[in-house]
């Protein structure tokens, strides 16, 4: 093959065909979790802190997470339900009407992973993982003191979607550490966020490139 050759042309000339794995969802036996979590990557991580009605501070990471709207500003994350229904985070959000989304950046990944442990509802992940709390400004739930970015949210809605619950929150207050800002604005080049891949694999946003959007 020459330097100018197209690999696709070479495959056609040799009679090779590319094989694909076909999945008919209606007849598929089992969960598509592995397919979805491996294909939709990388995913940002919402490290969500809540405070229960009993005053227990909960902290857990969720990688099914995105911006749902910018006007009004709304964040969305989707916890997979536990064996007994709602997990602590969506249950606390429903009971108190608020939560904080902390963004996981480089250096916080080990602590974040520690908070994914299954604990009793009356035990705080902050204490379990030795994570320092910081008071929030407009909500009662604490935020992660070392998080460079945190969004205080009021609950907009909880939506039941099969085995998951969509949690939508209106952003009420934003905390940006000076290390991720330039001239009073957030600087994406200073945000070394951690993203989820599949299984135990994660990635960072340090590898980046720029493309000019066409007119």
Q: What is the pLDDT of residues 54-112, one digit of tens each?
A: 999 999 999 999 999 999 999 999 999 988 889 999 999 999 999 999 999 999 999 99
Is residue 6 a part of any domain in this protein?
A: no
Is residue 14 a part of any domain in this protein?
A: no
What's the total number of domains in the chain? 1
Residue 102: which of 36, 136, 37, 151 has the closest Cα?
151
* Model pLDDT, residue 151: 99
pTM summary value:
0.89
How many helices (H) and strands (E) in the chain?
A: 5, 14
Is residue 213 a part of any domain in this protein?
A: no
Is residue 73 a part of any domain in this protein?
A: yes
Q: How far apart are the first and last CA of the chain?
A: 37
Which residue segment(s) compose the domain that 198 sits in?
30-204
Res. 3: pLDDT tops 70: no
43-54: per-residue pLDDT in tens? Answer: 999 999 999 999
In CATH, what number is assigned to the domain containing residue 38? 2.30.110.10
Is residue 17 a part of any domain in this protein?
A: no
Res. 30: pLDDT tops 90: no
Q: How far apart are CA 110 and CA 146, in angstroms?
A: 13
Res. 13: pLDDT tops 70: no
175-213: per-residue pLDDT in tens? Answer: 999 999 999 999 999 999 999 999 999 999 989 999 999
Q: How far apart are CA 101 and CA 171, in angstroms?
A: 9
Mean predicted lDDT score pLDDT of the chain: 93
């Amino acid at each position: 093959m020459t330097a100018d050759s197209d690999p696709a042309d070479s495959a056609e000339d040799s009679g090779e065909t590319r094989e694909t794995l076909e999945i008919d969802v209606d007849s598929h036996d089992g969960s598509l979790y592995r397919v979805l979590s491996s294909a939709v990557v990388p995913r940002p991580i919402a490290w969500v802190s809540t405070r229960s009605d009993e005053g227990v501070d909960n902290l857990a990471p969720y990688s099914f997470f995105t911006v749902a709207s910018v006007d009004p500003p709304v964040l969305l994350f989707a916890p997979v339900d536990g064996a007994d229904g709602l997990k602590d985070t969506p249950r606390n959000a429903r009971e108190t009407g608020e939560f904080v989304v902390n963004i996981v950046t480089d250096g916080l990944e080990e602590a974040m992973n520690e908070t994914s442990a299954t604990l009793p509802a009356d035990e705080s992940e902050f204490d379990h993982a030795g994570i320092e709390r910081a008071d929030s400004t407009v909500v009662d739930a604490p935020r992660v003191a070392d998080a460079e970015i945190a969004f205080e949210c009021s609950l907009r809605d909880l939506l039941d979607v099969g085995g998951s619950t969509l949690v939508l929150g209106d952003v009420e207050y934003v905390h940006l550490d000076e290390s991720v800002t330039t001239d009073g604005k957030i600087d994406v080049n200073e945000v070394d966020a951690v993203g989820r891949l599949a299984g135990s694999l994660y990635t960072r946003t340090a590898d980046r490139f720029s493309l000019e959007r066409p007119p």
